[in-house]
Structure 1
Amino acid sequence: MSRRSLLAASGAALAVALAACTANDPLARQANAGDNKNYIAGDGSVTEYAAHDRSQPVEFSGKLFDGTTVDAAALRGKVTILNFWYAACSPCRLEAPDLQALHTEFAPNGVNFYGVNVRDEKATAEAFERTFKLSYPSLMDKDGGVLLALTKFVPPAAVPTTLVLDKQGRVSARILGTADKGTLKALITTALAVK
């Protein structure tokens, strides 16, 4: 067998193996679909991490659209919600009113809410925030710095993704896709109950 034939056969075998690995992965199927919807939506699946299974406290630093710097270390001591979004993402639009309602409900308990905008310029992000009357701030993350930093702890893997950080700054839960209001409320309540 010639070297060229061997390489072609190896490439075909690798393609078949990769296809088999991703055949049951809904995110991989969306990525390969090529349907130009411009986002990879999760399936709404929820992963909760028991206290002994949680990673180290997350580490990231980013700037809000108003220029204020947010460092993960400063968030410790409070439950924090991080929601990855951008304005043209239809599931992000769907969940925005529920996120605002939960922010309003849990703000008196000291729960931090932050958006992490993965695509938009300031004007677009601010228009979205005005439209949905969002009162919590968002980090600018067009360069992917926050997303990449968090991938070391738990991969967001879809937009939207919502992470719940416990009071120690560890990921206690992840929702891939649109956050169901009741589910997210329960996750926040659980995180608040842990001293």
Structure 2
Amino acid sequence: MSLSRAPRRTLLAVGVLSAALALSACSGDSNGKSGGGGNTNFVTNTGGISTAAKGERATPGKLAGETLDGKQLDVAGLKGNVVVLNAWGSWCAPCRAEAPHFAKVAKDFEGKGVEFVGLNTRDPNKQPALAFEEDYGVPYPSLYDPQGKLILFGFPKGTLSLQGIPSTVVLDKEGKIAARSLMALDEEKLRSMIEPLLKEK
């Protein structure tokens, strides 16, 4: 019995995630509310960006797998850099709106201690996602996460987790979750999430 239940639980979890993403996909900002539930110490500014103080940041779960270009990537290996994680899908209009800003900022920070990683989700195959990256000149890799498993299991409950598409999380140099946005970002807002973390000792 236990062998038959395990796959059902996995299917149920994936089904719940798919429903959640469908409801929140391409949604706007969080209206100043902190996500995750429970007793949190997140601060959300008027621009909809939530942050956690240095001593109160959580470590994400395993964020690793195959990229859209078929390589293996483990986000843990980027520790020592500020890491920008952006959940996106080629089907998402706000993702298309923010893509040029992400491409520009990623190029501007190249070689300066900042790494960008996309989390491509809900694209049933890689072709539309690869076309998206080519169209917008995306210079960084994206993990291929069609069922959203990395988004579901990569962020502990009660943390600044990715919710909806697009959403962005920035990890500090220690690999901890420091900032999150649940909306499409322009260049100014994206830089405002990165630059304070670059200055941290």
What TM-score, normalized by structure 2, do the two folds share?
A: 0.74
Residues 115, 138 of structure 1: 8 Å contact kept: yes
Alignment identity in percent? 37
* Larger-Rg structure: 1
- 2:154 is matched with 150
Bigger drift between 117-126 and 56-65 goes to 56-65
Kindly provide the amino acid, as one letter, of the partner of residue 90 in structure 2. Answer: A
Residues 118, 141 of structure 1: 8 Å contact kept: yes
- 2:93 is matched with 90
- Pairwise CA distance, 1:149: 2.4
Distance 1:150 1:53 in 2: 18
- Pairwise CA distance, 1:41: 1.2
* Structure 2 unaligned spans of 5+: 1-19, 30-46
Distance 2:174 2:61 in 1: 9
Q: Secondary structure at the match of 2:132?
A: helix
Residues 58, 72 of structure 1: 8 Å contact kept: no
Residues 58, 169 of structure 1: 8 Å contact kept: no
Distance 1:190 1:94 in 2: 24
* Structure 1 unaligned spans of 5+: 1-27, 32-37
Q: How many residues align?
A: 161
Residues 170, 177 of structure 2: 8 Å contact kept: yes
Q: Which of 101, 105, 109 matches 2:108?
A: 105
- 1:23 is matched with none
Bigger drift between 173-182 and 91-100 goes to 173-182
Q: Which of 73, 76, 96 matches 2:76?
A: 73
Distance 2:60 2:120 in 1: 21
- 1:56 is matched with 59
What TM-score, normalized by structure 1, do the two folds share?
A: 0.76
Kindly provide the amino acid, as one letter, of the partner of residue 136 in structure 1. Answer: Y
- 1:177 is matched with 183
Distance 1:171 1:106 in 2: 19
Distance 2:143 2:76 in 1: 15
- Pairwise CA distance, 1:104: 0.7
More helix by share: 1
Distance 2:178 2:70 in 1: 28
Residues 61, 70 of structure 1: 8 Å contact kept: yes
How well do the aligned residues superpose, as a CA RMSD in angstroms?
Answer: 1.9
Kindly provide the amino acid, as one letter, of the partner of residue 178 in structure 2. Answer: S
